[in-house]
Amino acid sequence: MQQGLCAADGAPGDAGYILFTDADIGYAPGVVAALVRAAEDDDRGLVSQMALLRADAFWERLIVPAFVYFFAQLYPFRRVNRPSARTAAAAGGCMLVRRSALAAVGGLEPIRGARIDDVALGRLLKSPPARVRCWLGFTTDVTSRRPYPRLPDLWDMVARSAYTQLRYSPAVLAATLAGLVWLYALPPAAALGGLGWLAAGGGPAAGWLAATGLAGWAIMSVSYIPVLRLYRLSAWRAPALPLIALLYAGMTADSARRYHLGRGGQWKGRTIPASRAGRAGGR
């Protein structure tokens, strides 16, 4: 990113915005111009859109929509877009940044060691004293062409940075894993257990257990349907969310394991040393 910024500084002309993107990202015609208009019309220093990730192979269709679902829970887009809220984030595949805003926070130097650079950039711009107005949204006009056809590919994609999201805290890791089990595994377990108990002649308690479990399972499934629709996948996939959440719990636990073994952050044959990753997360 810094090399691109230096190249842009040496280019002819005086562009008011910089577009940070990835080599595997495709843009529909007119998207970049629309981003600039949105930034100008609403006085936003950062306009970011989450690229539509590839979901063609079996494992991509199973895991990729949930990646977007959980990201939006960690960083609710409405809070990111609200200037008064402290929540800040961005999607690295498509980040349009006003050059004057970036210069006001010292460029990219303050986040040079950050492993999750998009979220770090959003926090840098939105935090005092800059308090830049930011916007993050979904789109189907910006697409990622990178394939993740196998489970190990997707597992590595999540595991390389999941523990960074938790700021390398064992306490936060334990709370996150407990929360995933409580929110996503407990309702179907209660539903199936209650139904089995009821079939075996259980009383009212069995009925209440089954009903509450089914209600919780239904609520989480309904909340997942908008993301499935974004990816043009059947809503009948929604009840599988508890299984997917357990996979993400495993990826998160493995991310912490890799970090403590000194193998965290492996990407394209490179490994960020644990000490450096820790300093980046501490920012």
How many domains does one find in the chain?
2
Residue 162, pLDDT score: 92
Task: For residue 27, give both structure tokens.
Answer: 């843009």
| 27 and 67 housed in the same domain | yes
Among the listed residues 146, 151, 103, 147, the one whose alpha carbon sits nearest the alpha carbon of residue 125: 103
CB 103 within 8 A of CB 15: no
Cross-strand bridge partners of residue 94:
21
CB 41 within 8 A of CB 33: no
Position 214 in a domain: yes
Cβ-based neighbours of 165, under 8 Å, separated by 6 or more: 74, 116, 119
Tell me the C-alpha distance between 102 and 132, whole Å.
9
Residue 8, pLDDT score: 86
| 197 and 65 housed in the same domain | no
CB-CB neighbours of 23 under 10 Å: 6
Rounded to two decimals, what is the model's pTM? 0.87
Tell me the C-alpha distance between 91 and 208, whole Å.
42
Mean pLDDT of 222-248: 97
Q: How much of the chain exceeds pLDDT 70, in percent?
A: 93
pLDDT averaged over every residue in the chain: 91
Q: Which tens digit of pLDDT belongs to each residue from 106-157?
A: 999 999 888 889 999 999 999 988 899 999 999 999 999 999 999 999 999 9
Cβ-based neighbours of 55, under 8 Å, separated by 6 or more: 61, 64, 65, 231, 233
Q: What stretches of the chain show up as alpha helix (H) in DSSP? A: 2-9, 31-41, 58-74, 77-81, 99-104, 117-126, 151-159, 162-165, 170-180, 186-199, 204-230, 241-260, 274-282
| 187 and 277 housed in the same domain | yes
> Residue 258: pLDDT above 80?
yes
| 18 and 141 housed in the same domain | yes
| 41 and 131 housed in the same domain | yes
CATH of the domain at 140: 3.90.550.10
Residue 275, pLDDT score: 46
Q: Which tens digit of pLDDT belongs to each residue from 30-47?
A: 999 999 999 999 999 999
| 263 and 136 housed in the same domain | no
> Structural domain of residue 136, as residue ranges?
2-148
Which of 84, 115, 148 is where one domain is finished? Answer: 148
More confident residue, 32 or 267: 32
> Residue 269: pLDDT above 80?
no
| 192 and 273 housed in the same domain | yes
Q: Which tens digit of pLDDT belongs to each residue from 164-207?
A: 889 899 999 999 999 999 999 999 999 999 999 999 988 889 99
| 211 and 95 housed in the same domain | no
Tell me the C-alpha distance between 282 and 76, whole Å.
22
| 183 and 72 housed in the same domain | no
> Residue 11: pLDDT above 90?
no
CB-CB neighbours of 7 under 10 Å: 9
3-state secondary structure (DSSP) of residue 87? coil
